[in-house]
Structure 1
Amino acid sequence: MTSIQNGFLNGTLQDLYRLNPGDLKGAMSTPSSVDRATLVYALERYHTSLGTLGEREGKKLSPRAATLKSQLERLSHPNARVVVAGQQAGLLGGPAFCIHKAVDAILLARKLDSEEVPVLPIFWVASQDHDALEVKSTSLLDLDERSFHLTVALPQGVPIGNIALEPAWVESITHELEDFNAPEPHKRGVLERIKKAADGAKTYADWFSRLIHDLLAESGLIVLDPMHPDLAVLFKPALSRELQNPLAGPELIEKAALNLLERGYTPALRRPEGSTNLFLTGDDGQRRLLRLEKKTFYADTAYSKEELEAILKTDPRRITPAAGLRPVIQDTVLPTVAVVLGPGELAYATQLLGLYGLHALEQPLLWPRLKVTWLEPPVARILKKYGLSAAEF
């Protein structure tokens, strides 16, 4: 099978996305009518509860909090746009490419930013995700080339944003890292960041969010957690639309999948008959895909459309989008000009053009994330000595 990313870049899949790769002019010329004032208010409430908006150093706001405050003010501009990157809330900040995506969003936002049209980088914390196996572990290599596999006992099937942070997890991780061989000042600084981020966190996702904020807020990055109550309520209109016609989106995704198969590509998303693009978190805390048979929805038990609408009205955090719908739901609330994507996310995006139309939206520019090769100083010196580049290997 052919790589979807290659097909995207060489233009053979051009009919499956709105803008050609790198079409910044086309992206910036696409209008966005989202309610920026309501979005900024919700983000202010979120960052206040996270402890990041009021963070102080002495009597003054910390540089991170001051930058965040300034960025939120700029986001309230009627022409403001955003570049979005995102990732699940992985242990200690997740895989390295999580930071690469965030940095790419920062760099692209700076390139597009102006006084007339402020462009801000947003990091979407995928706290609605319930796959604990993807976020509970990380591996590190110290100077003695010893591998440290760190893990915490997250419950499976529960949205990460609903998992309370256990102090014992933080203590266990920092205790294991005491034996990590790295320059002492650097190690102390990292351990201090980890503990500081945990000190103000209520949930596992908060811990991740505070770490990302600590690392990149001074560079202008705005962290967003869709599970925070003030943000979750913003997605209600789009989720309600999905409940009115829950199979229309999945049918478009499956149609795009068959199109890809006919052209020699492996689709990233499939939607069996009856599958919706919505998950429901049950009374037991487990997140399950909603299926529709005739006019009845099924997850842990049977639900009518009216019952789900009542749940959405009283607790919008319980009904969340599946992977194929999540980017669209995101863009109903954010004035997105471009989204930074890894190869897997890019494969998803080639199946979502029709869903944007269902929600009367224009698909933003798809921006493949930068690729980074980190070289240790001894390796860099050897390559330089022989006139070689890491790209040759």
Structure 2
Amino acid sequence: MPLQTLDLKAVGAFPKLFLDYITKNETLTSFYNQYPDIEGFRKAIQSRAFTQEKRQTLVSVLEKQYANLDSKPDFSLLLDDKTFTVTTGHQLNIFTGPLYVIYKIVTIINLAKQLKDAFPDYNFVPVYWMASEDHDFDEISVFNLFGKNYKWETTQKGAVGRMNPKELRAICDQIPERVEFFQNAYLNHDTLANAVRCYMSHLFQDQGLICLDADSADLKALFAPVMKDDILQHSASHIVKSTSDQLQALGYHTQITPREINFFYLEDSTRERIVKEDNQYKVLHTDTSFSEAEIIQLIEANPERFSPNVVLRPLYQETILPNLAYIGGPSEVPYWLQLKGVFDHYQESFPLLMPRNFALVVNEASRKKIDKLGITTEELFADEVTLRKSFVEKNSRKSLSLAFEIDEINDIFERILKKATIIEATMKGPVEGVKAKSINALEHLEKRIKRAEERNQESSVSQLLALKERLFPGGGLQERKENFLNFYLNDHQFIQKLLDSLAPLDYKFNIIEI
């Protein structure tokens, strides 16, 4: 597929903290260990330690989670001390959700391949961390296909990964074309987490992708010491607050705010915050509470009932995986920068933070429209007002600017001012006032001229704005709104083409023509 790239700064859609990190701003070096390039990975490989006991626990859990799938990755690789993971994570959006979820997974798969080429003595496994414990159902319940939103309606509550997906039959029947692998995943599995693992295994078969559901008693047991420390001592809260204050003092906006206790209580259809009140540990919005002795006993006996929030989920990930890098979006990478102190406190390796691939997909119909309008794809990244203005000016047969005339007015009034102030010094104010009125009148006239020319070009401008909306729906990036089925249904090689086109360590915005 033809490919163009843009500097991420030119896109105008990413926060300053993210851009400064990617461009190696020196003020941020204390907030991470290694920069995500080949040399950074070399150092991470040399320093990353992971016990054989943890490897065996991880493989045992994965074997159970994949037990009902005919095709599964080679988990035995993870028992090798020379095997590492590269990880991305996301909520379990229905039908994969926005296009960038696919980009995340493409990034880790290609990264694993590139690292294998660079370090042939080691193995690298791409891991999709399924946010199965998340309880924000609204964020996963909608997807957009061909300009129409489809929504999962349910009364189920709690961790979304535990929900039964069979209710999605209604949406499967509504979408324009039957998608067999989604039908199979949603209608033949009893939890959303199992369904997602099923269809991701289909979409990325033979790519070595592992889908991990960390909602596991065996995996949580490895994290029990952190559970006790956070619930009793609140260490993470103090550390993250201090780091956030440092970043804010440097002029950055921070993404996450720590709680005193950074765990939810997770059971059946409940996922609610744990708070300490009057020496009791209470589960909000329930009648459940524990004494200190009781909650310690529960952590030891049933660690699966404790679910980390956004502050400690990254630490949990690195505790249970032999991980080298976390691949995330423009909001995720910045919030990880708030967490290095937490990793240092618990003596856990802080991974390389790496941006996922970013892309705009331009199909043949849109390319023809771009060529017909005589614009470049890069110009479409401008906001609508700027785009309209530049297009009208570029396509006008005559200049629409009165800048030359305004300069002449300035010169004329400079001469008038000299004459007037020779006669009377107090004339400066009146002269300046008349000058300002004259220039304001010309600027107003210039706007009317441009609006008149816009009306002359109304048909072309309408086509331009329709194209802008098609490629940047709602004024935002396509990858945050559209679903991959928009392209996959017309070309089942779409994902393979992404794998062939996108370079994981090239931190640019990609424009892909299909």
- For the aligned pair, the TM-score class normalised by the smaller chain equals 0.7 to 0.9
The answer to whether the 8 Å contact 2:224/2:303 transfers is yes
Partner of 2:161: 161
Change in Cα spacing, 1:156 to 1:131, as seen in structure 2 (3 Å) is: farther
| Number of equivalenced pairs | 356
Q: Give the Cα–Cα distance (whole angstroms) in 1 for the partners of residues 207 and 372 of structure 2.
A: 34
Q: CA deviation at 1:377?
A: 1.8
Mapped contact 2:161–2:192 kept (Cα < 8 A): yes
CA contact (8 A) 2:73 2:209 kept: no
Partners of 1:384 and 1:19 in 2: how far apart?
Answer: 43
| Equivalent residue number for residue 270 of structure 2 | 286
The one-letter amino acid paired with 1:80 is: T
Tell me if 1:343 matches 2:330: yes
Q: 1:255 to 1:194 in 2, by over 3 A?
A: same
Aligned residue among 25, 41, 47 for 2:60: 41
Q: Partner amino acid for 1:280?
A: Y
The equivalent of 2:211 in structure 1 is 223
Match for residue 73 of structure 1 among 70, 73, 76: 76
Offset, 1:266: 1.2
1:128 is aligned to 2:112: no
1:171 maps to amino acid: R
Shift of 1:303: 2.1
**8 Å CA contact 2:273, 2:283 repeated in 1:** yes
**One of 349, 356, 360 as aligned partner of 1:362:** 349
1:210 is matched with 198
CA separation of 1:115 and 1:9: change in aligned 2, threshold 3 A:
closer
**Which amino acid counterpart does residue 58 of structure 2 have in structure 1?**
L
How far did 1:280 drift?
0.9
- CA deviations 1:259-280 (Å, max 9, x no partner) are 12211111111235xx211111
Give the SS at the match of 1:298.
strand
Query: 25-34 or 228-237, which moves further after superposition?
Result: 228-237
Cα distance between partner residues in 1 of 2:321 and 2:258: 26
1:27 to 2:44 alignment: yes
Which stretch of the first structure deviates more once superposed, 314-323 or 374-383?
374-383
Q: Which amino acid aligns with 1:299?
A: V
1:105 to 108, 113, 119: 108
* Residue matched to 2:223: 235
CA distance in 2, matches of 1:134, 1:373: 22
Structure 1, 292-301 or 260-269: larger mean CA deviation: 292-301
Q: Equivalents in 2 of 1:74, 1:380: separation in Å? A: 44
* Distance of 2:300 and 2:326 partners within structure 1: 29
| Structure 1 unmatched ranges of 5 or more | 56-64, 142-146, 181-186
Q: Report how far residue 109 of structure 1 moved.
A: 0.9
Q: Distance in 2 between matches of 1:117 and 1:342?
A: 27
Give the fraction of aligned pairs with identical amino acids, expressed as a percent. Answer: 25
CA shift for structure 1 position 241? 4.1
Q: 1:56-114 CA deviation, whole Å, 9 max, x = no partner?
A: xxxxxxxxx2xx343x1222211210000110111011221111111101111111125
Partner residue, 1:60: none
Correspondence for 1:62: none
* Structure 1 position 175 matched with structure 2 position 173: yes
Counterpart mapping for 1:52-67 below 5 A:
52=69, 55=70, 65=71
Is the Cα–Cα contact under 8 Å of residues 341 and 369 in structure 1 kept in the other structure?
yes
CA distance in 2, matches of 1:258, 1:117: 39
2:487 maps to none
SS of corresponding position for 1:366: strand
Aligned to 1:277: 262
Q: Which residue of 1 aligns with 2:497?
A: none
Distance 1:44 1:282, change over 3 A: closer
Q: Please provide the CA RMSD for this pair.
A: 2.4
1:238 Cα shift?
Answer: 3.7
Deviation at 1:228, TM superposition (A): 4.0
Q: Secondary structure at the match of 1:257?
A: helix
Which shifted more, 256-265 or 362-371? 256-265
**How far off its partner does 1:37 sit?**
2.1
> How far 1:332 sits from its partner (Å)?
0.6
> Displacement of 1:244 after TM fit?
4.4
Rounded Cα–Cα distance in structure 1 between residues aligned with 2:181 and 2:158: 26
1:298 maps to what in 2?
282
What amino acid is aligned across from residue 159 of structure 2 in structure 1?
Answer: P
3-state SS of the aligned residue for 2:361? coil
Query: Which is helix-richer, 1 or 2?
Result: 2
1:231, distance to aligned residue in structure 2 (A): 4.0
Mean alpha-carbon deviation: is it higher for 5-14 or for 290-299?
290-299
Summarize the Cα distance change of 1:314–1:262 in structure 2 as closer, same or farther, 3 Å threshold.
Answer: same
Q: Return closer, same or farther for 1:156/1:164 CA change in 2, 3 Å cut-off.
A: closer
Q: Which of the residues 352, 365, 371 maps onto 1:378? A: 365
Whole-Å Cα distance in 1 between the matches of residues 371 and 316 of structure 2?
A: 47
Q: Cα gap change, 1:305/1:95 in structure 2, threshold over 3 Å: closer, same or farther?
A: farther
Mapped to 1, the partners of 2:218 and 2:171 lie a distance apart of 31
- Given the two structures, how large is their TM-score scaled by the length of structure 1? 0.83
Looking at structure 1, the residues matched to 121 and 45 of structure 2 have their Cα atoms a distance apart, in angstroms, of 12
Q: What SS is found at the alignment partner of 2:334?
A: helix
- Higher mean C-alpha displacement, 126-135 vs 233-242: 233-242
CA contact (8 A) 1:5 1:347 kept: yes
* Contact 2:73–2:210, Cα closer than 8 Å, also in 1: no
How big is each residue's C-alpha offset from its partner over 1:349-374, in whole Å with a ceiling of 9 and x where there is no partner? Answer: 01100110122112010011110111
Amino acid at match of 1:32: A
